[in-house]
Structure 1
Amino acid sequence: MIDFARVQKELQECSRDIEASGIKVTPKSENLARLTGTIPGPIGTPYEGGTFQIDISLPDGYPFEPPKMQFATKVWHPNISSQSGAICLDILKDQWSPALTLKTALLSVQALLSAPQPDDPQDAVVAQQYLKDYQTFSGTARYWTETFAKTSSLGVEEKVQKLVEMGFHEAIVRSTLDAVGGDENLALEKLCSG
């Protein structure tokens, strides 16, 4: 059984120093078993300036079992699947300890963005690129960060105009932007998928 009192404490701890760490954890549901983590891209990396969303599911054995985490934001990294967002990190598997918290797990994921481990990859294609052509890897990672992890600074009207110019009906564009919280990239994905 999940220790919800502990989860509540962990959420409070995260919200207390969000300004310093930039790490945020918010519930997705009433029962606190499904959460969303948010981490800023580390400075001095191709992920700098991005904000990355991570889906968190707590197993029944939490905190004695590790939380299940995967990136909801697409990211180009050797230890994160570019397809599913699965994360290859020892503390999320066999090196988990009940002494760790959601915040320390997210800090570890953030540290992984700074220090990839291409010899133990989750995504072999990205790991190969990292090892053989770091410049292309870095450019691709930066491009993915710009495309998927940065919220557009455009105002709502500019976003609507841009999407209408692509051939979408204005009323549908406005309702889609509302549904995805103003995220232009998500709106475009939704509009393209019908």
Structure 2
Amino acid sequence: MSQTDDFVLDIGEIREKARKNVADGAQTSSYKGDVGTIIRLLNEALATELVCVLRYKLHHYAAKGVQSEAIAEEFAVHAEEELGHADKLAQRIVQLGGLPDFSPKGLAERAHSDYVVVSTLQEMIRENLVAERIAIDVYREMVRFIGDKDPTTRRVLEDILAVEEEHADELSDWLVKTQ
């Protein structure tokens, strides 16, 4: 007997369960995650993305130097992508029945990365690269922690992680070019 032969559904039971707690929306009885913990983790990631947007925006406008125009444009692109990550995280928090925490109060404390003000182009690249490396490690740990308990959240995090890795790769290249 193959693995696919073991797949059995009691559609009557699934229909009955779907009618119970219908106000829970997408969160059905088969959900295995700890909703409170996952919402907390997602809100911390949301804070991190918002801090990254602000840092990238600052660096976009403050970049000066010979190669500043191209790097400033890259910072702007990264800011937009980080904002997209924030939107995805906020949407998932709402799907899980939570409220995304966009409050500026305590934003820096909730975030995993720092908002560091620096003056040179190379320092800007380095600080953004450090922040991306932090995000990569945190997202990897979140993916590991969630595992198969919440495949939808895991997929959102994996998609964001892939972009953060691209950002780190690009910034690493820029760091070498500006030395």
TM-score band by shorter chain is under 0.3
Higher Rg: 2
Give the structure, 1 or 2, with the largest relative contact order (CA under 8 Å, sep 6 or more).
Answer: 2
The TM-score, its normalising length taken from structure 2, stands at 0.24
Q: Structure 1 or 2: larger strand share? A: 1
